[in-house]
Amino acid sequence: MAPKKLKEFLDKKVDEYNQLFFIHEDPVSVPHYFSKKQDIEIAAFFASIFAWGKRAAIIKKAKELMALMDNAPHDFCIHCQEKDLKKLSGFRHRTFNTTDLLYFVEFFRSHYSKYDSLEMAFTKWMDKKNETTENGLNGFYHYFFSLDEAPARTKKHIASPEKKSSCKRLNMFLRWMVRKDSKGVDFGIWKNISPSQLVCPVDLHVARVARRFGLLEREQANWPSALQLTAHLRTFDRDDPVKYDFALFGLGAVEHY
């Protein structure tokens, strides 16, 4: 398909899937239950980290965790006592278990005791002149595991470009936090990262469709692949390349294109 025609086609699909109906069956629905900024951040972070496997199962487990946190995750992480943490015992989603969860809670307790938003955990390592969020993601990884006695097993749940990961789940989380338009799916509550710096999440559906359209030549779904895809998408919209995640994911996961 010629580039102009492809852009027109993908723009149409963005408009089709970037709609409120999309929220209901997607993990982004979990943070949409909240209105407090910090609750949105924490709920979105867990929902994105859990995002492998079927979407219904991801949503179910994320909602289960929010219930264990009394549907007030920020307050829970800041003020939880030993008796509160016991409620989390036995929680599991695939390979994510109680050990991992307790460390995540401790990280949030530590971070929010110093900062008002999780945004700082990414932007403190970035420069507005950076083309992408790569520095922010690498910095976040080291910051996240900077607490004493960070469990070695938990490190597999946070990706980073320096480990060549595509960072699919964190890129999705950043899309939710940074992108803002009139459609209401993404939150756009962070202001110090530009949508132009975002990198497209690359899952199996997105990668398959992207290869079919010649937007991705690489076989492995790694960081160079995410950058390659995003660079192609930037030729369609330099300021908001990751909006095409709606089109590629919808075509792959919903239409089985």
pLDDT value for 128: 87
Burial tier of 214 (Cβ tally within 10 Å: 0-12, 13-18, 19+) = exposed
Q: Where are the domains of the chain?
A: 3-254
Per-residue model confidence as pLDDT tens digits over 60-80 = 999 999 999 999 999 999 999
pLDDT value, residue 243: 98
Classify residue 251 by its DSSP letter.
I
Contact 98, 89 (CB under 8 A): yes
Write 14-18 long-range contacts (CB < 8 A, 24+).
14/243, 14/244, 14/246, 14/247, 16/247, 16/250, 17/246, 17/247, 17/249, 17/250, 17/254, 18/181, 18/183, 18/185, 18/243, 18/246
Diameter of the chain measured on Cα atoms: 61
Residues of the chain with pLDDT below 70 are none
The tens digit of pLDDT for each residue in 114-167 reads: 999 999 999 999 998 999 999 999 999 999 999 998 999 999 999 999 999 999
How many angstroms separate the CA atoms of 14 and 245, rounded?
Answer: 8
> Who contacts 8 (Cβ-Cβ below 8 Å, separation ≥6)?
none
pLDDT at 153: 97
The first and second tokens of residue 185, run together, are 């799916």
